[in-house]
Structure 1
Amino acid sequence: MTPADLSRTVLHAVHRAVAENALHAPVPARVRVERTRPGGAGDFACAVALQLAGDAGLPALEVARILRERVAAEPGIGRVEITGPGFLSFTLDAPGDSDRAVLDAVREQGSAYGHGGALRDEVLRFHHPREVRAAVTADAVRRLALSQGAQVRISCEEAAETGEAEWGLLGVTVDAYGTPPVTSSADPSAPLIPVRPVPAGATARELLERLGADATRWGLLRPASHDRAPLGDDLLVQGEANPLFLVRYAHVRARALTRGAAALGFTSESDAAPAPYEAASDASLYEGPARPLLDLLADHPRVLLAAARHRAPDRVARQLEAVAHAFFDFHDSCPPLPSGDEKPSAAHRSRLALAEAAGTVLAGGLSLLGISAPAHL
């Protein structure tokens, strides 16, 4: 990462903080980064937090904390420290280090990759009408908020009636019925948050009978809540034109690669061969078709946090579609399995590690949407 790249990365973090309402300040035209002076921390330093503190009405240290949260996971950045009155100090990764760190994190955390504690101090009370899209959306928002450490409670405006059994088949749970007080006596700072997407125009029973639970949830959650949810039979098409099929098929292919590698006698973690990511001759792992996939995997934690903060499960669905497309581009250009008489190499192990990470992220994202990720289709 060059100083110019770092400057753009920090500026992008400022944009995101403002867009997510974490920071209320004008976005500067550019952010200046400088080489750390002798005795300082890291490789580069930046004073943008001090620059924004006045307009934001926050201490510079708090602004620095907000920005650090959005910069620390960016590819190429190894460590971000806050020094002095609010300077951000950056230690950059060596080439390839950030990619290895992402794949290691996915392997270690599994389907919980991207979960975190950014919302651990928040108590969220969601309230929705007795309508299937509102109920499914509230449930997905609950899953996302819980993945980021929040405490969540969901209430429905009307008392339970016949038809709520179908909500259970859709994976929906409700903590209370009727309209609770606008604020909680236990936590006055936790007001009711309405969840009111454009209604589905059909009942849960109708959708379940026609589409099944997984396609129904995808159809209700994939569009932004202010858009109508297309709920046609194309959600059941077994073809790549159907985004749900594409995402689940990419997961299936990733799992099939692991089984295929085991049948050939090697894995991405074999002790008898070069370790994953150490194939210096395999430039395709870090560049070319692999780069978009690696970047999407690195960005996954940020997407989950933003989706939780904005109550927007559609962001997760779009992220999964992008990962699936990038996976197939990578898979077709850089096959993880040897062909013919070709022997498994360090390159194949590295590619397999990336494919397995993609499958893990797809499974975890589908789970947060309440959708199954089968090993076979």
Structure 2
Amino acid sequence: MTPADLSRAVLHAVRRAVDEDALRAPVPARVRVERTRPGGRGDYACAVALQLARPAALPARDVAEIIRERVRGVPGIGMVEVTGPGFLNFSLLDGAHRIGALVRDIARSGQEYGHGHALAGTTVSFAPVEEARALVVTEVVERLLRAQGATVGARAAGGEALHVMPVPAADRDLFARLGDDAARWALLRAAPHDRPQDTGDEALLAQREGNPLFRVRYAHARTRALSRNARQLGFTAAYDAHEGLGGGARPGGAERADAVTDALAALLADHPDVLAAAARHREPDRVARQLEAIARAFFDFHDGAPPLPAGDEKPSAAHRSRLALAEAAGTVLAGGLSLLGISAPEVL
């Protein structure tokens, strides 16, 4: 993470705090970060809390804590401390340690990784609906809102109305034809203001790469198979930041292994923001598209930085680390499918 990246991360945290009404102050055009002076804490320091304290009518340390809460966990940022009258001090992580922190965070949160308090204090109720697609979308939006700390009331007249393109009359028997999982995907994958794409029953049920739902669920099942196969080979997942993930890569070498690893880790790190945006904008299709992207990145990672040893190769620290990242991807896929009300089988 560069100083410019850190500056943008802090500015984004300030903007989030203002959007969530946790901080009532103008969002600055830019945030300045500086190298910590000798004897200081961390790698970089920032005085934005002191700048915002007066317009926010809060002590600078309180402002700093509000920002700190929203910048913790950003990829590349390790420890965030508040010192003195309200300075924010940052210790940065290198790539390997950043991914290790991400893997531990996902393991600790499980399928609730990405759930949070972005909408805490918000109360939402929806108008009653009967049309099939509106029912499914409303149910999932309610689940997304609760996952972000919002309170969801009973559906009643006068509640918020979701503007959803209805399912054509010819598709009213969608659930009977496709089953619950494929029907829900068909209704949720398109943006609410768009009509669900008619790809035909065969495309939605086909167990092949061209079917996005199958690809997402197969990616999850593959992560679980990797864990089972690793146990049979006598090892389990254990992320080792000192050894990294690039050693012993297949043709393409460590450079490709690093690239596909970074791509997958970046999507996993973005997942909490995607869930918060899907809840805030009432758009569950954002979650479906995120899961598709994670599945694609996982298969690239699987091929470019294989978690299992090949042939007579012995399991190494790199394999254990890759397996830990693969398991993290599987956890995020399962959690996302659960929010959509779609099952995540361990075997396909």
Aligned residue in 2 for 1:173? none
Determine which of 260, 279, 282 is the counterpart of 1:289. Answer: 260
Contact conserved, 1:96 with 1:286, CA < 8 A, in 2?
no
* Counterpart amino acid of residue 268 in structure 1: A
Q: What is the DSSP-based 3-state SS (H/G/I as helix, E as strand, rest coil) of the residue aligned with 1:78? A: strand
1-structure distance, mates of 2:4, 2:257: 20
1:267 to 236, 244, 251: 236
The match for 1:368 is 339
SS at structure 1 position matched to 2:307: coil
Instruction: Provide closer, same or farther for how the CA distance between residues 308 and 255 of structure 1 changes in structure 2, counting only shifts above 3 A.
Output: same
Q: What does residue 323 of structure 1 align with?
A: 294
Under a length normalisation based on structure 1, what TM-score does the superposition of the two structures give? 0.78
Q: Is the 8 A contact 1:128 1:138 kept in 2?
A: no
The aligned residue for residue 189 of structure 1 is none
**Could you report, residue by residue, the CA deviation over 1:287-342 in whole angstroms, capped at 9, with x for unpaired residues?**
32100111111222222222222222111111111111110111011111111111
Q: Contact (CA 8 Å) 2:245, 2:258: kept in 1 or not? A: no
Q: Is the 8 A contact 2:136 2:184 kept in 1?
A: yes
Task: Identify the residue that residue 125 of structure 1 maps to in structure 2.
Answer: 125
Number of the residue aligned with 2:151? 151
State how far apart, in whole Å, the 2-side matches of 1:120 and 1:19 are: 12
How far is the alpha carbon of 1:52 from its aligned partner? 6.1
Distance in 2 (alpha carbons) for counterparts of 1:245 and 1:22: 41
Distance 1:49 1:127, change over 3 A: farther
Letter in 1 for 2:235: F
Deviation digits for residues 315-374 of structure 1 (CA, Å, limit 9, x no counterpart): 111111111111011101111111111111111111111111111110011001100001
**Given the superposition, is the C-alpha separation of residues 310 and 206 from structure 1 closer, same or farther in structure 2, using an over 3 Å criterion?**
same
Give the aligned residue type for 1:230. Q
Q: Aligned partners of 1:26, 1:307: CA distance in 2, in Å?
A: 25
Q: C-alpha separation between the residues in 1 aligned to 2:260 and 2:175?
A: 38
* Structure-2 change in CA distance of 1:60 and 1:263 (3 Å): same
C-alpha contact (below 8 Å) 2:46/2:89 kept by paired residues: yes
Q: Which amino acid in 1 is paired with 2:326?
A: A
Change in 2 beyond 3 A, CA 1:280/1:227: closer
CA distance in 1, matches of 2:223, 2:168: 36
SS in 2 for 1:193: coil
Residues in 2 aligned to 1:77 and 1:200: alpha-carbon distance in whole angstroms: 45
Structure 1 unaligned segments of length 5 or more: list them.
156-177, 183-191, 270-274
RMSD of aligned alpha carbons: 3.1
Contact persistence 2:186–2:197 (CA under 8 A):
yes
Q: 1:249 aligns with which of 207, 218, 229?
A: 218
User: How many positions carry a matched residue from both structures?
Assistant: 338
- 1:236 aligns with 205
SS of the residue 2:173 aligns to: helix
Within 1, Cα distance between the matches of 2:169 and 2:72? 44
* Aligned 1:1-377 pairs, distance under 5 A: 1-13=1-13, 30-37=30-37, 41-49=41-49, 67-82=67-82, 87-155=87-155, 179=157, 182=158, 192-202=159-169, 206-233=173-200, 234-269=203-238, 276-280=240-244, 282=246, 287-377=258-348
TM-aligned CA distance change 1:280 to 1:232, over 3 Å = closer
Query: What CA distance in whole angstroms lies between the structure 1 residues aligned with 2:87 and 2:127?
Result: 41
Contact 1:216 1:231 survives alignment (8 Å) = no
Moved more, 93-102 or 65-74: 65-74
State the Cα distance separating 1:8 from its structure 2 match.
Answer: 3.1
Q: 2:289 is paired with a residue of what secondary structure?
A: helix
Q: 1:276: Cα distance to partner?
A: 4.1
Greater mean deviation of Cα atoms: 39-48 or 98-107: 39-48
Contact 2:245–2:319 (8 Å) recurs in 1: no
Q: Percent identity over the alignment?
A: 59
Letter in 2 for 1:153: G
Distance between the aligned counterparts of 1:64 and 1:193, measured in 2?
35
TM-score (norm 2): 0.84
Deviation for aligned residue 1:65: 5.6
Distance in 1 (CA, whole Å) between partners of 2:65 and 2:280 is 17
Partner amino acid, structure 2, of 1:147: A
Unaligned runs of 5+ in 2: 248-253
Helix, strand or coil: the match of 1:79? Answer: strand
